[in-house]
Structure 1
């Protein structure tokens, strides 16, 4: 039997939580359990909502074990029911129609797995929405933390005092300009392995110079205003970029998303983060069991990990360049030295590499691209990442992008 450690958590009462939990976690070694994992946040955005279902894996073999073929429904006490279907690409369950969580409506999540077991959440209500006051970048130099770069910060205030718990995510998009754009598609023909001769056919193409990459945040990043005199989030760090980060080499944008949470949701994710700071509940070799708001309808003793949350989301986007902060241009994503090679050099007797062999090997097996050609025999080549930005990014300009 595979063994793993399970942490049994005694969650402090709401009052004790507000002043800080001081009781240590009780740790006990028990048998590994195959537990359903539920991760879902429905928001006030009109969009297809998502429910993620998986099973825990062992600490020894952490992997994503998707829960397939489940029946998933979100029900509102106003009579609305929303069905979900599993997406073939991601494995997530996506609502069949776009919807937004409404104020003063109580929502519950209901799940029926392929083995006939049913699970449900406690009812949740959408918290009030709070607009982000400001998202901004600031140059920081912190020798203690070995940081020198740009810190993205958030300011938010709720004068009503109704919103006290906040979670942050972001989408970062950055522009990429290939340093050595390749105007050719190279093809090697008529290779003779006895004499090591061949021809390189160069077909013209439009150089793929500019690309854009978008990446989503991972991990749990949240804060609370309960310990402050004002109901205000001030200079909360969302994203740090080192001065050497290639994402800032041309132009960088970040969309910060602010989620207002309930106390219960905030508490759950706070404990999960303290247990292991996992990037996602979906992908964990579960370090411990944390009781959320999901239960089994058919077996009261069965553990269910996860939380169904309704959260109000607002967002704000900013753009900046490295020189906005007095920084030097960061290095490119990879080293981009190019090679000048002469097809006529087919020997190493001159204490020089065999250029003809390098041309063949690098074009055939290492995806190098021809940057320039000097007839009749000289080729200038470089890595694909340095010549064709679509080798690791997309040349589709996002609709929101501003230069």
Structure 2
């Protein structure tokens, strides 16, 4: 089957030790049934919205994107009578605006699909998440990579189970700079700077750690990600936003099993090789499979910026020098003017798009609002 969950890696175990990854090769699932997949949680922090993604499993042989569960009703119910209705915002994604919750209340998720099936989770307690102490980095001795680490602790020793997600953004620049562009059959000064872009990735890696075997609820230098220098993400400026979640023991066990099961699937929507169900059940058929785990937690987050200047610019050279008439028809970009000796009109130096326009690498020329 294919689900919403992706390739994962696990960091589990005692402080200072790397988690072990155990190879797992379950048999391929070939049943044609579609089962509900629930991805999301109740964000009990007052600043951020809660989001629930609903989709369906599909056969391994189906290479299409996952099927979104649209037209559903998504509700969170408190055991003291509170009710919160989510709003569908498209493609199976449901949102609840930020608000204040009673942290002494327990909550459950209720889903009614467009096919009139109903699913409900068990009640879960609101799990507190301690702040992130620091995000640090270490450059490899041979400068081949940069490792990002996280440090945190809970002085109350009540968290014990942790999960992290991260997104990375980096600024990059092209080897050649275009000063001019062609518009309305005329050469004009370029309006937008297409030399500098920003790109963002949100890996689906599952990162977990537990301190249950330690005397202190303390996480020290747990690796979050390792960024190869060859990626050029570290060449100009790099930023990583890390989100930290406190888990219940049941939630930790669910994510651990999911990580062990799906670590070889390859990408976010690739086949899930075995059945890992959580705390969500069908109200009409207790034997029906439902994938996902509902929790209630206020995440903590922290962002850092790094400028180690590691990597290298691609070797590029201009492609040609053209007259104005030729430049108007050239498929290449216009880099700069060139005035031959005694010339009354300039010629134009051109460059290939792949060496000049940063958008060809998938980034955007719009500077992120958080960029420093």
TM superposition score normalised by structure 1: 0.75
Q: Which residue of 1 aligns with 2:57?
A: 56
Unaligned runs of 5+ in 2: 3-19, 340-344
SS at match of 2:132: coil
> What per-residue deviation string (whole Å, max 9, x for no partner) do you get for residues 81-121 of structure 1?
22122223x541112x3235542221111111111111111
Q: Which residue of 1 aligns with 2:33?
A: 33
> What per-residue deviation string (whole Å, max 9, x for no partner) do you get for residues 201-257 of structure 1?
322223514433332232211111123343211110001111222111111111211
Alignment equivalent of 1:277, drawn from 263, 280, 294: 263
Q: Distance in 2 between matches of 1:278 and 1:120?
A: 30
Alignment equivalent of 2:337, drawn from 366, 373, 376: 373
Please report how far the alpha carbon of residue 263 of structure 1 lies from its aligned counterpart in structure 2 after TM superposition. Answer: 1.0
Query: Do structure 1's residue 176 and structure 2's residue 157 form an aligned pair?
Result: no
Task: Please say if residues 265 and 272 of structure 2, whose CA atoms lie closer than 8 Å, have aligned partners that are also in contact.
Answer: no
Task: Please say if residues 258 and 313 of structure 1, whose CA atoms lie closer than 8 Å, have aligned partners that are also in contact.
Answer: yes
Q: Which residue of 2 aligns with 1:68?
A: 70
Q: Which residue of 1 aligns with 2:89?
A: 87
Q: Which residue of 1 aligns with 2:10?
A: none
Q: Distance in 2 between matches of 1:265 and 1:283?
A: 22
Q: Which residue of 2 aligns with 1:264?
A: 250
Residues 1:284 and 1:67: Cα distance change in structure 2 (over 3 Å): farther
**Which structure is larger by alpha-carbon Rg, 1 or 2?**
1
Q: Which residue of 1 aligns with 2:105?
A: 105
> What per-residue deviation string (whole Å, max 9, x for no partner) do you get for residues 270-318 of structure 1?
1111112278997342321112111111222211111112223111221
Task: Please say if residues 279 and 292 of structure 2, whose CA atoms lie closer than 8 Å, have aligned partners that are also in contact.
Answer: yes
Task: Please say if residues 122 and 293 of structure 1, whose CA atoms lie closer than 8 Å, have aligned partners that are also in contact.
Answer: yes
> What per-residue deviation string (whole Å, max 9, x for no partner) do you get for residues 160-200 of structure 1?
221111011112222233432212222696xxxxxxxxxxx
Query: Do structure 1's residue 315 and structure 2's residue 279 form an aligned pair?
Result: no
Q: Distance in 1 between matches of 2:200 and 2:182?
A: 29
Q: Distance in 2 between matches of 1:269 and 1:211?
A: 35
SS at match of 1:116: coil
Q: Distance in 2 between matches of 1:120 and 1:385?
A: 51
Query: Do structure 1's residue 393 and structure 2's residue 352 form an aligned pair?
Result: no
> Structure 1 residues 286-295 or 374-383, which shifts more?
374-383
Task: Please say if residues 340 and 378 of structure 1, whose CA atoms lie closer than 8 Å, have aligned partners that are also in contact.
Answer: no
What does residue range 191-270 of structure 1 map to in structure 2 within 5 Å?
201-208=186-193, 209-270=195-256
Please report how far the alpha carbon of residue 128 of structure 1 lies from its aligned counterpart in structure 2 after TM superposition. Answer: 2.1
SS at match of 2:367: coil
Residues 1:72 and 1:242: Cα distance change in structure 2 (over 3 Å): same
Q: Which residue of 2 aligns with 1:339?
A: 318
Q: Distance in 2 between matches of 1:342 and 1:383?
A: 12
Residues 1:243 and 1:67: Cα distance change in structure 2 (over 3 Å): same
Task: Please say if residues 105 and 126 of structure 1, whose CA atoms lie closer than 8 Å, have aligned partners that are also in contact.
Answer: yes
Q: Distance in 1 between matches of 2:191 and 2:265?
A: 39
Residues 1:91 and 1:385: Cα distance change in structure 2 (over 3 Å): farther
Task: Please say if residues 37 and 304 of structure 1, whose CA atoms lie closer than 8 Å, have aligned partners that are also in contact.
Answer: yes
Q: Distance in 2 between matches of 1:279 and 1:76?
A: 36
- More strand per residue: 1 or 2? 1
Please report how far the alpha carbon of residue 158 of structure 1 lies from its aligned counterpart in structure 2 after TM superposition. Answer: 1.6
Q: Which residue of 2 aligns with 1:139?
A: 139
Task: Please say if residues 318 and 352 of structure 2, whose CA atoms lie closer than 8 Å, have aligned partners that are also in contact.
Answer: no
Please report how far the alpha carbon of residue 400 of structure 1 lies from its aligned counterpart in structure 2 after TM superposition. Answer: 2.7
SS at match of 2:58: coil
Please report how far the alpha carbon of residue 267 of structure 1 lies from its aligned counterpart in structure 2 after TM superposition. Answer: 0.8
SS at match of 2:293: strand
SS at match of 1:270: helix
Q: Which residue of 1 aligns with 2:351?
A: 382
Task: Please say if residues 254 and 276 of structure 2, whose CA atoms lie closer than 8 Å, have aligned partners that are also in contact.
Answer: yes
Please report how far the alpha carbon of residue 159 of structure 1 lies from its aligned counterpart in structure 2 after TM superposition. Answer: 2.6
Structure 1 vs Structure 2 CA RMSD? 3.1
Q: Which residue of 2 aligns with 1:352?
A: none
Q: Distance in 2 between matches of 1:313 and 1:130?
A: 8
Query: Do structure 1's residue 160 and structure 2's residue 145 form an aligned pair?
Result: no
Q: Which residue of 2 aligns with 1:353?
A: none
SS at match of 1:319: strand
